[in-house]
Chain A
Amino acid sequence: MWVSPTPPQKKKKKKKSHQVGIEQAVLHRQQSLPHRPVIPLVARMADQNTSGTPAMSEREASRLDKFRQVLAGPNTDLEELRKLSWSGIPRQVRPITWKLLSGYLPANAERRESTLQRKRQEYFGFIEQYYDSRNDEHHQDTYRQIHIDIPRTNPLIPLFQQASWQEIFERILFIWAIRHPASGYVQGINDLVTPFFVVYVFEYIEEEVENFNVSSLQEEVLRNIEADSFWCMSKLLDGIQDNYTFAQPGIQRKVKALEELVSRIDETVHCHMQQYEVEYLQFAFRWMNNLLMRELPLRCTIRLWDTYQAEPEGFSHFHLYVCAAFLVRWRKEILEEKDFQGLMILLQNLPTMHWGNEEVSVLLAEAYRLKFAFADAPNHYKR
């Protein structure tokens, strides 16, 4: 039903054209068959320009070199690392870079190993202390909801249907929820574990993850990935906690801010939606609650988060500009819809399945431009 607005991966190397063909076939199949296809979300997830192809472009190689240089010293220059990371982090150094940027790992290289050990012990201490209480009366509702939601987190990816992964996700979410009673577990938070987990698994495996069997990882390794994912997700959520407290005030405020921002940057689109009585809350609630994860393929979310972690207040503030850029990106399609239902169905099913790094980079550049242009405007929304 949806025609792709941009040709898929135009600049891709020739070697890849075969893969693009497969993807288009998958795309096509999804539209015509009633059966749910397995979409290669994970296979090409980490870094589509390098994964699976032995040859790296010169530019990519030199970027990786720069990262390695910054990461090599006894004290990592976090400012420098942020600057480099803003335009995307090479797959090979993504795990350590994410851990540094989120503040989980110290800049001082000597202290890293002991920090990791301490934090991992601390997390498993929580498990020992709290996890048995999941069936207690005052926690069982939380646990039950998490337990129900885990298989519904990534139903398209067979990997995430494996029992041992699901147990890990349950533990991470349960411990986080009971340690944050002001919000507790809110649907949507379950999505936010996935990018960390997938990125940290890549630290230990070379192959594609699509059909990867979890139990082939050493238990110790799996425990490390679990603890690291927990802490990094916690850091992320610390910055956006009012998204998830009662009545979700953070989200309501951001949706309002989005509406105001769009009315300033593209009055035509804004008025068009008003004319057909589309309210921003009806579609953008999910954009804020799940940080666009429901609107983009996983590989794009991971690329997006490279920048969010490099940008000051990336998840809590810059995301707003990304959402505005994302909405206006579909201006042509939006203006073509001439009734409420057409608009809603479009806005809830934006055709991004073929998106990759290029599309995300364009989106981020536009968001940056908006932030720059509007952040200091006198009447503009301010936090």
Chain B
Amino acid sequence: MSGGAELGFTEHLFKVLVIGDHKVGKTSFVKRYVKNQFYEELKTTIGVDFSMKVIDWDSHTRVRLQLWDIAGQERLRGLNRVFFKRSSGALVVYDMTNGSTLDGALNWKHELDSQVMLKNGRPIPAVLLANKCDETKVCRRNASLLEKLCQEKGFIGWFQTSAKENINVDEAAKFLVKHILQNNEESVKEEEQNMQINLKQQSKSNSTCC
């Protein structure tokens, strides 16, 4: 997924899923993040909506994010496999003003883990987003519940966000990208190690050959 390093400059391309129940604000989150716009009413997403965000991460790293905003209505379990494959991370969204969508988010996380994983077998990094936080407040009890849920269900963290008021949108995405980049580095290292082992083995067998 990463581009060649030329003069120390690296470009990465990552696929990030945006999933969760219908009407929790997935599309609004993406529109805010990508275009910095908000609409009161958007058309319902059918299938998947695709968009791109380019981030100049630091002076020698550029990240291109493919955002896959997946329709929330549970109808297409079979299709999720097609839409989920080869993703590097996920934003799992629920609506703070509608408690049942938190259960929905956990189901989506479960579905995600059953469909995709990292090369080393670990789940792909996923951030839990408590969206529409402009309409309500997370009380302390909730915060500790979310903390606990994150640990139990394997989220790397949670944020309360508002696409409407532009709260924590960039921060949550940044947090996810940071983890994706870390995973990427680790897997590159692992690959290098594997390659060195292979090379050693090869040179061994070569030497016996000569």
Contact = CB atoms under 8 A, between A and B. Distances in A.
A221 to B, nearest CB: 28
Contacts of A148: 22-23
Contacts of A290: 46
Contact of A286 (B22, B47, B66, B82): B47
Nearest to B82: A281
B44 A149 contact: yes
Give the most central of A155, A187, A246, A348: most B CB within 10 Å.
A187
A119 to B, nearest CB: 29
Interface in B32-78: 35, 37, 39, 41-44, 46-52, 64, 66, 71, 73, 75-78
Interface string B146-166: 000000000000000000000
B41 A152 contact: yes
B79 interface: yes
Nearest to A185: B73
Contacts of A238: none
Nearest to B64: A341
Q: Interface majority SS on A: helix, strand, loop or mixed?
A: helix
Interface string A164-199: 000000000000000000000011101000000000
Contacts of A149: 44
Contacts of B82: 279, 281-282
A186 B42 contact: no
Nearest to B78: A247
Contact of B79 (A36, A151, A186, A285): A285
A36 B77 CA distance: 33
A345 B51 contact: yes
28 contacts: A36-B39, A152-B42, A153-B43, A155-B39, A155-B43, A187-B71, A187-B75, A190-B44, A246-B75, A247-B75, A247-B77, A247-B78, A252-B79, A279-B82, A281-B82, A282-B47, A282-B82, A285-B46, A285-B48, A285-B79, A286-B47, A289-B47, A290-B46, A294-B46, A341-B50, A341-B66, A345-B51, A348-B50
